[in-house]
Amino acid sequence: MDENVIKKGNGIGIAGFVLAIVALIFCWLPVINWILWILGLVFSIIGMFKRPKGLAIAGLVISLASILISLLIIGAATGAVASMAY
């Protein structure tokens, strides 16, 4: 194997994947989650135009799952607060 051959990767797609995982972990923190979610989504979308696309696709799916979980948590918290008011 030639040592001068550099294997190209998809750094933007990897960044999107990592940010999506971190957003999924912190989905219960509203402000931090939204920032991480937007960055993960943008990097994953940009990474979709480069090869290899595997982690960019995974980052995109995890970002979308993260926002759905976040919206469910916000809805549950809002419902709990509204039910305590009456």
Task: Write out pLDDT tens, residues 24-61.
Answer: 898 878 788 889 999 999 999 999 999 999 999 999 99
pLDDT recorded at residue 5: 60
The percentage of residues in the chain with a pLDDT greater than 70, rounded to a whole number, is 92
Q: Where are the domains of the chain?
A: 27-67
Q: Compute CA distances 44 → 27, 32, 40, 63, 74, whole Å.
A: 18, 18, 6, 9, 24
Instruction: Please determine, for residue 4, whether its predicted confidence score (pLDDT) is greater than 70.
Output: no
**76, 32 in Cβ contact below 8 A?**
no
46 closest CA partner among 83, 12, 84, 2: 12
